[in-house]
Amino acid sequence: MIGPLRTAAELDALAPAAPARRAVVMTMGALHEGHATLIRTARSLVGPEGQVVVTVFVNPLQFGAGEDLDRYPRTLEADLKTAAESGADAVFAPSVDEVYPGGEPQVRITAGPMGELLEGASRPGHFDGMLTVVAKLLHLTRPDTALYGQKDAQQLALIRRMVRDLNFPVEIVGVPTVREPDGLALSSRNRYLSPEERHTALALSRALFAARDRLAAQVALRARAESAPASNARAAALSALGEARAAADAHAVAAAQPGGGADAVRAAARAVLDDAAKSASPLVLDYLALIDPADFSEVADDHTGEAIMAVAARVGTTRLIDNIPLTFGAAS
């Protein structure tokens, strides 16, 4: 097991010799398989001669009033073991005083308009605090590459924007969301859920998968429509013969239009969440959004191209987020 580095000076002494590369994985601790996947991916990117640094720091700037800063899990000994087993060379676990030696910083990174949407609207100031600590940790660790999970899609988008806008000399890599076998996205907060609450929480991923399946069905209908130009006539003939189900299918094919369909995809996800709101441990929806990854604005029904379906909700006292990437476009 590796020991924690507590100061920037200790981290500086561990800097790899050129041309070896350094990758950093930033965490707030309570490491799980999602973090382990990030660490293993970092190791594969820098190779055996490179260096992987994991940061463990519960950042007070990104917690608002009434949030779970005090009860956020702190499991450093277990984190050191997970990091080492996953391929990390070092764990940088500084104190609050080491990161903010003069107290809370008066100068901070501002997330801008994108930081006021979705998570930013629900947690005012959260992204300013997140970007401020990410900027500080990038300066302290001086990596060539930094890896973040796609589960926190808005966070990842804002970090990429900060790095681009402020010319940070680092490559940002997003790593796909890691899920439990039943679909629940891995999160340090999952441990707060009772068994009944965890069952309800599965509605988040089920809603996203329902949206994905609805989009896939629309794509399939459009593909069939392209190959069946006479579908209207066929639907009318089937109706005359009393073949109601076949006629309905033929009508659906005839009505299929290239591109768009975002509203139906939203509706498929919302139906799952509405059912979960009626459960014994009800899901309380914060937001369900189908957004353009460029600026996190809601997409129109006729949207084509990349999109992200994002959801946030509370189950009991635990707030959870999840998302899934989608691609809208004409059938080929």
Whether 221 and 256 have beta carbons less than 8 Å apart is answered as yes
Q: Which of 71, 66, 67 is nearest to 29 (CA)?
A: 71
pLDDT score for 65: 80
In the structure encoding, which two tokens stand for residue 27, read together?
Answer: 């965490």
CA distance 103 to 99: 9
29 pLDDT tier (thresholds 50, 70, 90) = very high
User: What backbone torsions phi and psi does residue 170 show, to the nearest 5 degrees?
Assistant: -145, 145
CA distance 245 to 238: 9
- Choose between 182 and 218: higher pLDDT: 182
For the segment 294-313, the average pLDDT, to the nearest whole number, is 95
146 pLDDT tier (thresholds 50, 70, 90) = very high
For the segment 169-185, the average pLDDT, to the nearest whole number, is 97
**Average pLDDT over the chain, rounded to an integer:** 90
Q: What is the pTM of this model?
A: 0.87
- Choose between 330 and 183: higher pLDDT: 183
For the segment 122-148, the average pLDDT, to the nearest whole number, is 97
Whether 223 and 257 have beta carbons less than 8 Å apart is answered as no
In the block, which residue shows the tokens 């790593």? 175
Residue 274 has pLDDT above 60, yes or no: yes
26: β partners: 55
For the segment 88-94, the average pLDDT, to the nearest whole number, is 98
Identity of the amino acid at 291: I
Catalytic residue of the set 35, 126, 199, 251: 35
Residue 149, helix vs strand vs coil: strand
303 included as an active-site residue: no
Burial class (CB in 10 A: 0-12, 13-18, 19+), 280: exposed
* Pick from 55-69, 102-116, 288-302: least confident: 55-69
Residue 249 has pLDDT above 70, yes or no: no
Rounded to the nearest 5 degrees, what angle is found at the Cα of 228, between the Cα atoms of 224 and 234? Answer: 115
Rounded to the nearest 5 degrees, what angle is found at the Cα of 154, between the Cα atoms of 267 and 41? Answer: 110
pLDDT score for 209: 98
User: What backbone torsions phi and psi does residue 235 show, to the nearest 5 degrees?
Assistant: -60, -40
